[in-house]
Structure 1
Amino acid sequence: MEFSPIALTLIGLVLAAWTVAAAIMMIRATQRSRRHDALRRSLARVNGMLEEAPAIPMLVRSDGRIEAHERLAGWLGLDKVPEFLTELASGEDGFGITANQLSQLSDAVRRTQKTAAPFRLSFSLPGSGRSFAFRGTLADPRVAPGGAALVWIFDFTESEGELARLRGEAAQAQGDFTALVGLIEAAPIPMWFRGRDARLRLVNRAYVEAVGADDAEQVVTRQIELLEPEKGRAAGDIAREVAEHGGASERTVPATIHGERRLLRVSDLPIGEEGIAGYAIDIEEIEQQARELRAFRQAQRAMLDQLSVGVAQFDAAQKLVFANQPFLRLFDLPFGIVGDGVQFDRFLSDAREKRRTPEVRDFPAWRREHLEWFGASEAREEAWPLPGGMHLRVVAQPMPDGGLVVFAEDRTEQLALSATRDTLLRTRTAMLDSLFEALAVFAPDGSLQVWNRSFAGTWGLEPELLDNHPSADELLAAIAPNLAQPGQAKAIGDIVRAATLDRREKGGRVELADGRTLEFAGVPLPDGNGLLTVLDITDSQMAETALRERNQALEEADAVKARFLANMSYEFRTPLTSIGGFAELIQSGAAGPVSDQMKEYVEAILESVARLTEQVENVLDLSQSEAGLLPISKQRLELLSFVTEIVREREKAIKDAGLTVDLRGNPGGAIEADKRQLARAIGHLVDNSIAATGKGGKILIDIARTSEGARIVVSDNGPGMTKQELGRLSEGLRVTPDGKVERRQGLGIPLARQLVEAHGGTLTLESRKGVGTTAMIRLP
């Protein structure tokens, strides 16, 4: 079949059109394929971004259907993404949101769908512990027409924890700040804050009270400074300098607070770029205590220097910081050693060199042991026997600061005294056992402490009973059966009680059943104990009875003697008076003329009568004096005139003997004495001197007043006497063993002695052969 050219042309045109159309279609297809690839790549990128996005979109349509990424099922712990919103609630497995949370979410979604109002919700899933935030808005019609809601779900589990932590920290910081502000306000010390310009911006209540202001606002407004300027610089200037240097500053300055000068420790502390904080601590009391402590330490060390116990103190570095004088003396240390800071081990070595430590075999080991004193928990005590016989008691007391105080006491004398005490105790025991008296010592509680061997035998007790130290009640119960009257045991207990508790001395007497008589007494001892002393007075009772009978006989004999002396005084004096009277009548011529020879006889008779009368007086006075019956009638006598009168009565005898008398004394001395009896005593001494001194001799009579009374001395320069002759002169009359009376040199001296002693005085005689004799009378 042949085609016409037109047809061929038409066919060519159609083919060309189809070719062009195919080309165009291929080009468009290529372009669409490229757009599809780009869209696919974009969708892949969006899916990748959604996979990595921190939020998942969820589209909720008006009928409740939802569209969401598969990740939502994993977040909520579901097997797959549910089709409806109501299926987001947790089932029996516990995954998903709770019913309450679902109700809140549904209400919010419906509200957004109806009003286009966005919402925000936060839920924490109880099953997984995760937290999600729901942000909902009305979906763009291009995304989902028909009033759908677009909900973005955010997993902010980590953010919620961080937010919770930050909220807690913020709340804690707020509370801490509030507490800090309250603490600063309530602080008892002044505190303040300055800005960068060093002006006050904040002060607490203590600052306000310290400066005497009304409130903190007044202080800040007026810039009232607590601190005084220092060297022309105000407190603000000093704070500014501290801020510029960038370091904290602390100084001690005085200030006036409440009208008193106080010492403050002021601290300024820069606080970043904000300003400078400051506070002031009142250290006046601390400084006062420090001064008192220093004074106390000085006083304590001065006191330690006065102790007899050596005291040394080592610090925590084991250096010697103090030693009192006794310590230096005990260890033979120089005075300046304290300032050298000697180590403790060096001190021990020096002490060893000076033989002030015990002799030990291994001294280095001994020294190491004593270095451990510094770390001990309690005091250590040792006895150091030193070479040479000295004994030291050393006590090491660790101190809380790591130091050590060493006390050293010389116990040498105490040990010697202890040995002496032991010897004395043994001597006391032996002495008590050797006494005839029975002794026992009772403690205040009534227990028997000490007794001698005679105590048990005296009371008729078994010695084994006393070895148990029985009480007083037990002892009295054992003594009672041995008494003649057992009830008297109570009296013994009362005496023991009076000696131990009442501290009174009391005695008594009991008779035993065997006929013995015991006398006992309770004596309080200085140590609080009581001594019971018991003496068997059976023999002395018998002797006392005999002595009583003999005393009665002697009293009767004295009465007879007194009557005899009175009778003899009458019998002697009456005849002598009669003889003398008749002789004087004959001498006067009353009986007729008297021849010369008769006158001589009469004068001899009168002289003999006078001499005999004197001798009778002497005998009677001596007898009365020895019997204690001599009458003494004292009166006040002026001593010098009294002795002068006695000498004048013997003036004729002195002249006849060719003697001179030297009477010395000062007037005004008076004594109380019997004039007649004292005159006879002094007269006898003067008569003996006249008789014993040869012609041309001298008699000295010296009268003096002393602090003890009066003194009268009669001395002569006669031939003197030997001791034997002086003894016989002093004895006068002596009764021989066979009852005979032997005459010795007259009665003058013995009578004078008796008369002086009757006045309460003494008479002493001294004589030397060829020198003379001296008699001295001392009167009170």
Structure 2
Amino acid sequence: MILHGIGLVLLAVVTGTLSVLLAMALIRWWDAGRGTRGMQLPQGLDSSLKPMVLLYRDQRLVDATAPARALLDRLSVPEDEWARLLQWIGPRFPEAMEGLARIDRSGRFECLGQSGTGSATLRLLVEQVDSGLLRITITDPQAEYAGIVVDSMSQQAMEEELDLLRRSLDQTPMLVWRQDAEERVTWANAAYLRKAEGQTDEPIGWPLPRLLDSPRPVPGAGTRTRRASLNQNGAVFWYDCHSHPVGDQVMMFALPADAAVRAERSLREFVQTLTKTFADLPIGLAIFDRQRHLQLFNPALIDLTNLPTGFLTARPTLFDLLDKLRELRMVPEPKDFRSWRQQMSNLESSAATGHHVEEWSLPGGQTYRVTGRPHPDGAVAFLFEDITSEMSLTRKFRAELTLGHAILDNLGEAVAVFAPGGQVVMSNRAFRDLWPGADSLGHALACWQNQPETGPGVDALGARLTQPDADLRDSGLMASPQGQLLGWSVARLTGGRQMVRFRLPDPAQQGGSQPLLAASAG
């Protein structure tokens, strides 16, 4: 019985030990299984480490990985996917074009990129899988085995764009800075820093000083603009400041405006000079814009037309001004309103298309010259000039000329005045009747020498007129076309002119040949 009890105890102990060992083995196996499953990589991490691979058949895209398609999508121009890829590869891999040209012979081509910034040094691998089928792989050697979950192509694009933006902002002549809500400068470009350093001899600290009183954007109003000045070393610099809200801060852009300020100042001075000049002109000036509204006039216009100042300052239209002039009887008296209106329309259209001049004889006895000139952008300028005295002087001069001609025509002698060039500048009726066709010295000499009977008097007259400076006689005798005896004399006038007078024969001496003998003797 005792042996049987000991056997039962031993059996129980062995059974318990085996159970514990089996349980421990099961627990270890279970933990090992869980640990192995916990060491597996997530599916998202697998996809993020996909290489950039493109498969082309006869330069047509057959397949590509997700990063490669993302790269092609960023290159939206040109539309051809092969041309898009070459446009991206060309600047980064200078040897790629030559390698692609001989890929049919070599079957494989590999090179490193020669451009790029930061850690983006790329490697290009081109393999000819089959006839016309190319596999192109682009990788970053530095990140190839590092397990970095970053698209190296995107990183390179961002680094290049960042470098371009930094260089652009540092080289631009405009001032760019950022301000916070308390108007403290939190960032500035190189041009702003140079200006800030020029304001003081001491090193500038942080935050940077504010240089310009720039505008603050109004919420909901968008961008605002303001012109501000900066005094530096006795010189004044002008800027056109623009503000753009960016979150809770404001970006400021100050464009140099010195040339614009100088041009505006010159324009103001020029306009002031013109205004003073127009004010002193005795000619009335009225300038109308393309809608024919009065934009500019001078005091002489009021003096000449008696138009009220308030009427002119109200900027009337051209036809309103002409109607007002008609009411004041400062335009020619028309036969009827319709013809007058048509005349004024013709005046406006002629002035708009070219230089136009009219003379207005006013009911009060005055005479105005109205000149219309086109101006740029469809504007028209009218000038009103009082020419009453000029017209009176012209009429008086014409009357005196008419009187002088009448006196010459009633003289008992034939008179003609020759200019230095031989032209007949003046003659009376008796000369024209005596020598028809003698409208110049050459024609007169031919007429005198072609007479049936000539003598030494004709030669003496021709020599005297053709050689005015020679010491020749100033008078003599010659035969008329009717064979009568004529006495001639030549007198010098101012300006090199010469006056010839022919004394007509006395009617009591007509007939006979004795005058011709006398002419020959003379």
Q: CA deviation at 1:522?
A: 1.2
Out of 225, 237, 259, the residue aligned to residue 234 of structure 2 is: 259
Question: Is 2:365 the partner of 1:396?
Answer: no
> How far apart, in 1, do the equivalents of 2:353 and 2:427 lie?
46
Give the equivalent residue in structure 2 for 1:353.
327
Tell me, what secondary structure is at the counterpart of 1:298?
helix
Give the equivalent residue in structure 1 for 2:141.
none
C-alpha deviations, 1:333-373, integer Å up to 9, x for none? 22332223222222222222333334145168527825854
TM-score when scaled to structure 2? 0.54
Question: Is 2:298 the partner of 1:320?
Answer: no
Give the equivalent residue in structure 2 for 1:464.
436
> How far apart, in 1, do the equivalents of 2:296 and 2:307 lie?
12
Out of 318, 329, 340, the residue aligned to residue 314 of structure 2 is: 340
Indicate if the aligned counterparts of 1:193 and 1:277 stay in contact, CA closer than 8 A. yes
Question: Is 2:106 the partner of 1:104?
Answer: yes
Indicate if the aligned counterparts of 2:185 and 2:208 stay in contact, CA closer than 8 A. no
Out of 486, 489, 492, the residue aligned to residue 522 of structure 1 is: 492
Residues 387 and 444 of structure 1: is their aligned pair in 2 closer, same or farther, counting only changes over 3 Å?
Answer: same
> How far apart, in 1, do the equivalents of 2:131 and 2:328 lie?
88
Question: Is 2:198 the partner of 1:198?
Answer: no
Q: Which amino acid aligns with 1:105?
A: G
Indicate if the aligned counterparts of 1:246 and 1:270 stay in contact, CA closer than 8 A. no
Residues 518 and 369 of structure 1: is their aligned pair in 2 closer, same or farther, counting only changes over 3 Å?
Answer: closer
> How far apart, in 2, do the equivalents of 1:366 and 1:123 lie?
87
Question: Is 2:466 the partner of 1:493?
Answer: yes
Question: Is 2:305 the partner of 1:331?
Answer: yes
Out of 169, 172, 186, the residue aligned to residue 184 of structure 1 is: 172
Q: CA deviation at 1:406?
A: 1.5
Question: Is 2:476 the partner of 1:511?
Answer: yes
Alignment of 1:701-716 (within 5 A): none
Indicate if the aligned counterparts of 1:373 and 1:396 stay in contact, CA closer than 8 A. no
Residues 397 and 362 of structure 1: is their aligned pair in 2 closer, same or farther, counting only changes over 3 Å?
Answer: same
> How far apart, in 1, do the equivalents of 2:164 and 2:131 lie?
33
C-alpha deviations, 1:199-256, integer Å up to 9, x for none? 5632449965994889xxx98769886xxxxxxxx536x4594598885444444543
> How far apart, in 2, do the equivalents of 1:124 and 1:385 lie?
100
Question: Is 2:501 the partner of 1:534?
Answer: yes
Residues 205 and 314 of structure 1: is their aligned pair in 2 closer, same or farther, counting only changes over 3 Å?
Answer: same
Residues 207 and 365 of structure 1: is their aligned pair in 2 closer, same or farther, counting only changes over 3 Å?
Answer: farther
Residues 251 and 529 of structure 1: is their aligned pair in 2 closer, same or farther, counting only changes over 3 Å?
Answer: farther
Question: Is 2:410 the partner of 1:434?
Answer: yes
Out of 444, 464, 475, the residue aligned to residue 444 of structure 2 is: 475
Residues 512 and 191 of structure 1: is their aligned pair in 2 closer, same or farther, counting only changes over 3 Å?
Answer: farther
Q: CA deviation at 1:323?
A: 3.8
Give the equivalent residue in structure 2 for 1:120.
125
Question: Is 2:238 the partner of 1:269?
Answer: no
Tell me, what secondary structure is at the counterpart of 1:490?
helix
Alignment of 1:221-232 (within 5 A): none
Tell me, what secondary structure is at the counterpart of 2:312?
helix
Q: CA deviation at 1:448?
A: 1.7
Q: Which amino acid aligns with 1:356?
A: M
> How far apart, in 2, do the equivalents of 1:299 and 1:99 lie?
76
Indicate if the aligned counterparts of 2:228 and 2:241 stay in contact, CA closer than 8 A. no
Q: CA deviation at 1:276?
A: 2.6
Give the equivalent residue in structure 1 for 2:23.
none
Q: CA deviation at 1:121?
A: 1.4
Q: CA deviation at 1:484?
A: 3.3
Out of 335, 339, 345, the residue aligned to residue 369 of structure 1 is: 345
> How far apart, in 1, do the equivalents of 2:251 and 2:374 lie?
49
C-alpha deviations, 1:539-585, integer Å up to 9, x for none? 9xxxxxxxxxxxxxxxxxxxxxxxxxxxxxxxxxxxxxxxxxxxxxx
Q: CA deviation at 1:318?
A: 2.9
C-alpha deviations, 1:464-488, integer Å up to 9, x for none? 222xx32x34534554665437266
Residues 74 and 132 of structure 1: is their aligned pair in 2 closer, same or farther, counting only changes over 3 Å?
Answer: closer
> How far apart, in 1, do the equivalents of 2:269 and 2:405 lie?
55
Give the equivalent residue in structure 2 for 1:296.
273
Give the equivalent residue in structure 2 for 1:445.
421
Higher helix share: 1
Q: Which amino acid aligns with 1:292?
A: E
Out of 476, 481, 484, the residue aligned to residue 457 of structure 2 is: 484
Residues 474 and 372 of structure 1: is their aligned pair in 2 closer, same or farther, counting only changes over 3 Å?
Answer: closer
> How far apart, in 2, do the equivalents of 1:76 and 1:199 lie?
48
Give the equivalent residue in structure 1 for 2:36.
none
Tell me, what secondary structure is at the counterpart of 1:464?
coil
Residues 489 and 370 of structure 1: is their aligned pair in 2 closer, same or farther, counting only changes over 3 Å?
Answer: closer
Indicate if the aligned counterparts of 2:229 and 2:237 stay in contact, CA closer than 8 A. yes
Indicate if the aligned counterparts of 1:384 and 1:391 stay in contact, CA closer than 8 A. yes
Give aligned pairs, total.
374
Indicate if the aligned counterparts of 1:252 and 1:265 stay in contact, CA closer than 8 A. yes
Q: CA deviation at 1:133?
A: 2.8
Indicate if the aligned counterparts of 1:442 and 1:449 stay in contact, CA closer than 8 A. yes
Tell me, what secondary structure is at the counterpart of 2:306?
coil
Q: CA deviation at 1:535?
A: 5.9
Indicate if the aligned counterparts of 2:107 and 2:128 stay in contact, CA closer than 8 A. no
Tell me, what secondary structure is at the counterpart of 1:235?
coil
> How far apart, in 2, do the equivalents of 1:492 and 1:126 lie?
109
Q: Which amino acid aligns with 1:198?
A: V
C-alpha deviations, 1:287-322, integer Å up to 9, x for none? 542442243133123212xx1x33223344433344
> How far apart, in 2, do the equivalents of 1:513 and 1:99 lie?
109
Residues 448 and 123 of structure 1: is their aligned pair in 2 closer, same or farther, counting only changes over 3 Å?
Answer: farther
TM-score when scaled to structure 1? 0.38
Alignment of 1:377-416 (within 5 A): 377-387=353-363, 390-412=366-388, 414-415=390-391
Percent of aligned pairs sharing the same letter: 19
Indicate if the aligned counterparts of 1:266 and 1:278 stay in contact, CA closer than 8 A. yes
Tell me, what secondary structure is at the counterpart of 2:376?
coil
Give the equivalent residue in structure 2 for 1:281.
257
Indicate if the aligned counterparts of 1:510 and 1:517 stay in contact, CA closer than 8 A. yes
> How far apart, in 1, do the equivalents of 2:430 and 2:458 lie?
22
Tell me, what secondary structure is at the counterpart of 1:264?
strand
Q: CA deviation at 1:416?
A: 5.0
> How far apart, in 2, do the equivalents of 1:399 and 1:124 lie?
74
For structure 1, the 5+ residue unaligned runs are 1-53, 58-70, 78-97, 109-117, 137-162, 226-233, 499-505, 540-780
